[in-house]
Chain A
């Protein structure tokens, strides 16, 4: 039952929220710096204040790298954006073939 409800919930969510400028900007930078990424999701978790973001990114560019190295790659990519943030949460993954 949950599986049926989930897409509906997502749909409703999207109807009532749109991406913040910050989310869009960070997503754009990540798209540029990780051209082979298969999934990127940036969420402002500071209530829209741009203070804290949760970043989920899946890319084969992370293959065979330790998690801390993967996170470092994201940190490097977002070096400028991070300067304006209070904090960020990063979740990296490698695409399952």
Chain B
């Protein structure tokens, strides 16, 4: 089961787009088996499996994940488009034992889908979790500006 590197130009851009940092420029390790997926989710601090790409999400819930990350100023993350690869689409569901997409992994650990990420965003947990990964949320800087007024 070798993943087909996407022949679609847009998707290819998503793999290599420098704006998202080094995480996206590598190809996924071959296969969508547990071992390969394990490597994928651990390779980058923030890994998301979406329907579509960060530039063009194909689903409202995947878009929600993209927008939340954008709000926090997280730019360096790996985004895998499950619509590109049916084996990946099913494989990741089996791997995390979670029936839906999007799926968010922080530091190799499955965090949840868009509902959970939204909840974490609203209750401040996401800022904390990002801090643990050495990522400073952009929202902290907003808050400091407000405090100093």
Query: Which residues of A are interface residues toward B (Cβ below 8 A)?
Result: 67-68, 71-72, 75, 82, 87-91
Cβ contacts under 8 Å, A82 to chain B: 99
Q: Is the CB of B61 within 8 A of A71?
A: no
Contact B112 A89 (CB under 8 A): no
Chain A residues, Cβ within 8 Å of B61: 87
Structural contact, A67 and B100, CB atoms closer than 8 A: no
| SS of B interface (majority) | mixed
Q: Give B contacts to A, CB under 8 Å.
A: 61, 97-100, 110-113, 115-116, 119
Q: Is there contact, CB below 8 Å, between A67 and B112?
A: yes
What are 15 A-B pairs with beta-carbon distances under 8 A? A67-B112, A67-B116, A67-B119, A68-B110, A68-B111, A68-B116, A71-B112, A71-B113, A71-B115, A71-B116, A87-B61, A87-B100, A88-B100, A89-B115, A90-B115
A52 to chain B, nearest CB (A): 10
Q: Bound state CA distance, A89 and B99, in angstroms?
A: 11
A88 contacts across to B, CB distance below 8 A: 99-100
- A71 proximity list for chain B (CB < 8 A): 112-113, 115-116
Q: A52 CA to B27 CA in the complex, in Å?
A: 33
**Nearest neighbor of A90 in chain B, beta-carbon distance:** B115
A27 to B100, CA, bound (A): 20
Residue of B nearest to A78 (CB): B99
Q: How far is the CA of A74 from the CA of B44 in the complex (A)?
A: 29
* Chain A residues positioned under 8 Å from B112 (CB to CB): 67-68, 71
